Amino acid sequence: MKKNVLILLGLTMTVSGMAQSAITYDKHGLRAGDVHQTRRVTTVEPGASGANVTWDFSACEVTGNVHTEALENSSAGGHIAVRNDGNTLFQFDVTPYGNDYYGYAANGYSVAYEKPVLKTRYPFGFLDQHSGNFLGYITQGNSKVPVEGSYSSEVDGYGTLKLPNGVTLSNVLRVKTTEVQKRLNNNAYDLAEEKYLWYSQDFRYPVFVIILLSSNSVEGNASISKSSYVSVAALSAPPVVAGSAVADNEPQAEVAAPEVEHSVYPNPVADAANITYRLPSDVKVSVAVYTTNGVCVRKMVNNEVQAAGEYTYSYIPDVVGTYFIRFAFGSKTYTEQIVKR
């Protein structure tokens, strides 16, 4: 059985504002040029679903090295491709209406869905759900085996998430996804995946993931595996409650619009990173750069009221590695990860 882990596979989003905010294409779609990093941690149970839940994973221990996924434009009709550090390439088609998954390829082995898996339907909020069927082929060498299956996705909970390093994230949404795949030949087996993904308002990509994978062959051989992963960006966040105004917890003025457009590019960065944002009205702003140890290495804006308009700053990382740009616009905060190569 071919096993490949993709942390982004379920969904990609940043949940902003209140806990029951909808997931939208503009705020939550996969972005070419991003780099998402995770680390494996000791396995835990996914916990309860529902409203105002507290998921406490603070006792988890990091057990694996950094796992990297780079997002890039695909040659297949402009789709988004996600390439992990094992050189496995996953194919997605992200539109304003949803996020379709078309399969993956690695080392002469590929899974291609002619009828894809709908990972996310936009907009997508608490208690929203969708399901369907997929159809495709597994190709290995000269062998081409048809496969079919079913999938489902549901935002089944929201609340507070506690992570190692004293990080607590508020207004977190949890998404539960399932996929069941069956090979359509004499060597058929069932492959079932159940995945739980937590999303915070401060991070575009999942901050915590639990994957339950089971298989059952026609010979009666069964296997079950469980794995858990935490986002490097979330694990390395400044030790404050995410969702508060800024790292120093000073009171902030409310932003006059629900969202602030912002970007950090290029990413990965070879020389200087451009940090830009557009304010819809006067608001108190903080912009700072942190290392993976939570150390602030540069403050572009330190809790200052700025007038409406567009602002641009440049940051040149001192050494190769991962950095986090933390924005605070009034009561809203955002964190963007960049990688210096």
pLDDT at 218: 55
- Are 179 and 249 members of one domain? no
Mean pLDDT of the region 265-283: 90
Domain end call among 214, 235, 256: 235
pLDDT at 243: 40
Residue at 8 is within a domain: no
pLDDT band at 131; cut points 50, 70, 90: very high
Q: Please check the confidence at residue 211 and state whether its pLDDT lies above 70.
A: yes
Residue at 93 is within a domain: yes
Residue at 270 is within a domain: yes
- Are 167 and 286 members of one domain? no
- Are 208 and 283 members of one domain? no
Reference 318, options 297, 287, 304, 302; nearest CA is 297
pLDDT band at 141; cut points 50, 70, 90: confident
- Which is more confident, 11 or 228? 228
pLDDT tens, position by position, 47-84:
999 999 999 999 999 998 888 898 888 766 568 989 99
pTM for the model stands at 0.70
- Are 164 and 68 members of one domain? yes
pLDDT at 217: 62
Longest Cα pair distance anywhere in the chain, in angstroms? 69
- Are 280 and 319 members of one domain? yes
Range of the structural domain that residue 321 is part of: 244-340
pLDDT tens, position by position, 86-109:
889 999 998 888 889 999 999 889
Residue 200 has which token pair? Answer: 């915070």
**H or E stretch at 112:** strand 109-121
Residue at 9 is within a domain: no
- Are 311 and 202 members of one domain? no
Residue 21: DSSP 8-state: P
CA R_g for the chain: 20
- Are 252 and 310 members of one domain? yes
Contacts of 295 (CB under 8 A, 6+ apart): none
Residue at 216 is within a domain: yes
Domain end call among 181, 209, 235: 235
- Are 256 and 117 members of one domain? no
Domain end call among 185, 205, 235: 235
- Are 225 and 271 members of one domain? no
- Which is more confident, 228 or 280? 228
Q: SS3 breakdown of the chain: % helix, strand, coil, rounded to 5? A: 5, 60, 35
pLDDT at 2: 47
Q: Please check the confidence at residue 196 and state whether its pLDDT lies above 90.
A: yes
